[in-house]
Structure 1
Amino acid sequence: MEVILASSSVDGGIGCWDLHSGSENLRYKSCSSPSHGLVSVGARFIASSQLHERSKSSGSVFFWSWSKPQVEVMSFPAEPIKPLSANHSGNFIAGGALSGDIYFWEVETGRLLKKWRAHFRAVTCLVFSEDDSLLISGSEDGSVRVWSLFMIFDDLRSQQANNLYEYSFSEHTLRVTDVAVGYGGCNAIIVSASEDRTCKVWSLSRGTLLRNIVFPSIIDTIALDPAEHVFYTGSRDGKIFIAALNTESIATNKYGMHIIGSFSNHSKAVTCLAFGTSENVLISGSEDGMVRVWNARTHNIVRMFRHAKGPVNNILVVRREIDFNSHISSYVQPSSRKRANLPPPLEKIANSTDEDSDVKTKTIISLGGGKRSMDVSYLSSHVISSYIKELQHHGSAAASEMEMEKLKHECQRSMEMVNQWKKMYENLHQFCVKELLDGDQARTLDGNDK
């Protein structure tokens, strides 16, 4: 079953609808989430950060099970957390703080495994790479940083390195509003949006800027097409723009280079976008309180949902397995059901115990998202490096196309320079020949005169 989750910055709860039938499911109460603050943890339960407007020094993270509307677990981190992100298996949760720090928790135990200084200002967005080996963060300071979790949890390498991050992209001039990551693991593309009205496409394998696209309005959200031919952006003027990721540079429309069109039915800013996992549909949320489901090919509206209260600022599409045990859950004691389905509260402070080294080792082994297992006895920096190199072989089609485009442009420029040098050589050759001929003629005339 595929469901849409939507939340708001005001206490309007979390709306939940069946994507295929359009019917509304259970509405989850007591949620006022910041942008990028709603996450499904391994499709097992829902988590959301909460910000208290009256107090900028405190915040919380709430957990809901799928079967109950009330908050079941409350956590109170050491400082306010805005963006939340869970790896694909749901083993870990990362949170970005207003201070610029990133917190990294183990879900099963609630342990705070790591906290590090990530940005100079508040973290605005967090996302795991497809293979869960990288964490990408955006900030109010305008930077986008890529963190290798193998590096973060390797104390020796962390101490020897000049910086904990793999890359730091600082070309944005204003606050980063969203970050999206494509397929291909360490060789994927990253698309970032900013209040400077640009979206930038980066290569993870080379750490370079591939494309800069200027939009007519501020972009708050990004959704990559699953085939990575285009990406969609939600703007503050209520439009959804389509930008090309292929090799064609289109500049013949009214928007500018690489923007190939737009569509909209929202009356206010588009704040969040998501793609369906089984159908070619795009879901958008807006400050007008509406959730719209679009046919991504025709751009026609398939369905519309109204959030109970306030502007929509988070959209999730979750593929849930039907839980046959829910039919007999009424016979299970509440305490045992809670222990089985939901984790304990998240720790405020990392506990330094003798078990830390063992926990870090287990964490590094688990970073592959369950797609590949490693034995503890074979764990070493060489194994990790080999693993990363292996992941880099599985490249992204969009990244490859854009790299090819850059190479074509460089080749074309080189050919133009070669042709210029040829012309200069021919001109110089003609000049020299003419000078020699003129000199010989002058000497001949002088000899005849004598």
Structure 2
Amino acid sequence: MEVVLASSSVDGGIGCWDLHTGAEQLRYKSCSSPSHGLVAVGPRFIASSQIREPPAAPGSVLFWSWSKPQVEVKSFPAETVKPLAANHPGTFIAGGASSGDIYLWEVETGRLLKRWRAHFRAVTCLVFSEDDSLLVSGAEDGCVRVWSLFMIFDDLRSQQANNLYEYSFSEHTLSVTDVVIGNGGCNAIIVSASEDRTCKVWSLSRGTLLRNVVFPSVIDSIALDPAEHVFYAGSRDGKIFIAALNTESIATNNYGTHILGSFSNHSKSVTCLAYGTGENLLISGSEDGIIRVWNASTRNIVRMFKHAKGPVNNILVVRRENDYSNHTSSNVQASSRKQGSNLPPPLEKYVNSIDEDSNMKTIISLGGGRRPVDASYLSSHVITNYIKELQHQGSAATSEMEMEKLKHDYQRSMQMANQWKKMYENLHQFCVKELLDVGQARTLDENDN
């Protein structure tokens, strides 16, 4: 089932609707999120940063499970975090701080793995690449920066490098309002929007600006067409503009270069955009509190949702599986039964805030897998505990697995032994033949003399 999630800057909770039927699902309570502060962490739960009054008060990050409307886990980072991003399996959460720092947590343990200085001013938006190896950030300083997680976690390379980032795009003159990244890994494109009324298209493979599109109004949100022929830009005048990505420059009397047209039904600013994964549907949210679902081909409204309270500032489209149990590792299930919840612990404030064994390391896997939890993404002490549990269980299934493994290892050993035996026999025959040939040659020489 594909659902639409929407949140607001006022405490109106998180609305949830079935994208294709329009039926309202469970409404999640007690959420007042900043822009880009709502994220689905894999298929397991929802997370949102929170706006607090007064603004100087430290913020928080809240977790909801899919099945309960109440907040289940509260975290209080060391400083106010607004934009959030989760990698696709939901194993890491990144948060952008008002100081310009970026925080990266391991979800399963709540550990703060890294914190680094990313921008000179507050971070406004974060997004992971399709293969989860890159993190892209935008900030109030007008910069868009690309971070390789391989570099971030490589202490030696980090110390030797002049900069932690792969690229720093600084052509925007005002605060960055949104960033999206396309498909293709290191060959993808990045599209960024800014209060300077431009959207810029960047090449990851070349690290250069490909296209600069000037709009008649400030753009606060972007969505890429899945085929990446165009992108949609939500503006503060209530219009949704369509801009070309893969065509030549187009100049019209009404719009600027590369702008193909616009459509609108919002009475106020379009604050967020998202694309449905199942059909050609574009979803928009606005300060008027209405979420509209558009047929992207005809630009007609398919359905509308009304948020409970206040302006809409975040929209997510999430595909929910009917049964998550088959995708969850058994050690996590056992831990969940003990704790009575399938949610992780609160996020830590500081790096290494828990006194751990100095040999404990974090295993980082940055592939594009979509499984919600996998052992390759868990920290080493979680894996160690899992192994101990298996050892203590001594179940028939475990014993059978061990027997199969031993049989497989035995067969491989026998194959290797046979190969070495054959190689020895061949080498022995070769040496005997060489010795015989040398002996015969000497005998012939002696007879000739």
Structure 1 length as normaliser, TM-score? Answer: 0.78
Cα deviations by residue, 1:95-129 (Å, 9 ceiling, x for unpaired): 00000000000000000000000000000000000
State whether residues 200 and 211 of structure 2, in contact with CA within 8 Å, keep that contact through their aligned partners in structure 1.
yes
For 1:183, give the aligned amino acid.
Answer: N
3-state SS, counterpart of residue 190 of structure 2 = strand
Q: How does 1:180-329 map to 2 (within 5 A)?
A: 180-323=180-323
State whether residues 77 and 346 of structure 1, in contact with CA within 8 Å, keep that contact through their aligned partners in structure 2.
yes
Distance in 2, matches of 1:280 and 1:53, equals 39
3-state SS, counterpart of residue 7 of structure 1 = strand
Distance in 2, matches of 1:114 and 1:228, equals 33
Query: How far 1:339 sits from its partner (Å)?
Result: 4.8
Query: How far 1:43 sits from its partner (Å)?
Result: 1.6
3-state SS, counterpart of residue 103 of structure 2 = strand
State whether residues 87 and 369 of structure 1, in contact with CA within 8 Å, keep that contact through their aligned partners in structure 2.
no
Query: How far 1:367 sits from its partner (Å)?
Result: 1.7
3-state SS, counterpart of residue 361 of structure 2 = helix
Query: How far 1:340 sits from its partner (Å)?
Result: 4.7
Match of 2:121 in 1: 121
Match of 1:9 in 2: 9
Distance in 2, matches of 1:147 and 1:324, equals 31
* Corresponding position: 1:359 with 2:358: no
Q: How does 1:8-47 map to 2 (within 5 A)?
A: 8-47=8-47
* Corresponding position: 1:164 with 2:164: yes
Cα deviations by residue, 1:362-403 (Å, 9 ceiling, x for unpaired): 12xx12243799999xxxxxxxxxxxxxxxxxxxxxxxxxxx
Of the structure 1 ranges 162-171 and 53-62, higher mean CA displacement relative to structure 2 is found in 53-62
Query: How far 1:248 sits from its partner (Å)?
Result: 1.8
Match of 2:49 in 1: 49
Query: How far 1:338 sits from its partner (Å)?
Result: 5.9
3-state SS, counterpart of residue 59 of structure 1 = coil
For 2:98, give the aligned amino acid.
Answer: L
State whether residues 238 and 266 of structure 1, in contact with CA within 8 Å, keep that contact through their aligned partners in structure 2.
yes
**Between Structure 1 and Structure 2, how many residues are aligned?**
367
Cα deviations by residue, 1:52-77 (Å, 9 ceiling, x for unpaired): 02142401000000110000000000
**Could you say if the C-alpha distance between residues 178 and 356 of structure 1 is closer, same or farther in structure 2, counting changes exceeding 3 Å?**
farther
**Could you say if the C-alpha distance between residues 339 and 112 of structure 1 is closer, same or farther in structure 2, counting changes exceeding 3 Å?**
farther
State whether residues 183 and 189 of structure 2, in contact with CA within 8 Å, keep that contact through their aligned partners in structure 1.
yes
**Could you say if the C-alpha distance between residues 355 and 16 of structure 1 is closer, same or farther in structure 2, counting changes exceeding 3 Å?**
same
**Could you say if the C-alpha distance between residues 258 and 355 of structure 1 is closer, same or farther in structure 2, counting changes exceeding 3 Å?**
farther
Match of 1:368 in 2: 367
Q: How does 1:99-138 map to 2 (within 5 A)?
A: 99-138=99-138
3-state SS, counterpart of residue 60 of structure 2 = strand
**Could you say if the C-alpha distance between residues 93 and 375 of structure 1 is closer, same or farther in structure 2, counting changes exceeding 3 Å?**
closer
Cα deviations by residue, 1:294-314 (Å, 9 ceiling, x for unpaired): 000000000000000000000
Query: How far 1:256 sits from its partner (Å)?
Result: 1.1
Match of 1:398 in 2: none
Match of 1:336 in 2: 337
Distance in 2, matches of 1:33 and 1:127, equals 17
For 1:359, give the aligned amino acid.
Answer: K
**Could you say if the C-alpha distance between residues 306 and 116 of structure 1 is closer, same or farther in structure 2, counting changes exceeding 3 Å?**
same
**Could you say if the C-alpha distance between residues 172 and 339 of structure 1 is closer, same or farther in structure 2, counting changes exceeding 3 Å?**
farther
Specify every segment of 5 or more residues in structure 1 that has no aligned partner in the other structure, as ranges.
Answer: 326-331, 377-450
Distance in 2, matches of 1:354 and 1:47, equals 26
Cα deviations by residue, 1:113-151 (Å, 9 ceiling, x for unpaired): 000000000000000000000000000000000000000
**Could you say if the C-alpha distance between residues 118 and 311 of structure 1 is closer, same or farther in structure 2, counting changes exceeding 3 Å?**
same
Distance in 2, matches of 1:35 and 1:246, equals 29
Match of 2:145 in 1: 145
State whether residues 336 and 342 of structure 2, in contact with CA within 8 Å, keep that contact through their aligned partners in structure 1.
no
Distance in 1, matches of 2:238 and 2:338, equals 43
Query: How far 1:359 sits from its partner (Å)?
Result: 2.7
Cα deviations by residue, 1:8-29 (Å, 9 ceiling, x for unpaired): 0000000000011101000000
State whether residues 253 and 260 of structure 1, in contact with CA within 8 Å, keep that contact through their aligned partners in structure 2.
no
Distance in 2, matches of 1:219 and 1:153, equals 34
**Could you say if the C-alpha distance between residues 302 and 133 of structure 1 is closer, same or farther in structure 2, counting changes exceeding 3 Å?**
same
3-state SS, counterpart of residue 159 of structure 2 = helix
3-state SS, counterpart of residue 186 of structure 1 = helix
Cα deviations by residue, 1:243-289 (Å, 9 ceiling, x for unpaired): 00013211124111000000010000000000001010000000000
Match of 2:62 in 1: 62
| C-alpha RMSD of matched pairs (Å) | 2.3
* Corresponding position: 1:73 with 2:101: no
Query: How far 1:293 sits from its partner (Å)?
Result: 0.1
Distance in 1, matches of 2:358 and 2:225, equals 40
Distance in 2, matches of 1:265 and 1:93, equals 34
Specify every segment of 5 or more residues in structure 2 that has no aligned partner in the other structure, as ranges.
Answer: 326-332, 378-449
For 2:312, give the aligned amino acid.
Answer: V
State whether residues 235 and 270 of structure 1, in contact with CA within 8 Å, keep that contact through their aligned partners in structure 2.
yes
State the 4+ residue runs in structure 1 displaced beyond 4 angstroms.
332-335, 337-340, 352-358, 371-376
Structure 2 length as normaliser, TM-score? Answer: 0.78
For 1:23, give the aligned amino acid.
Answer: A
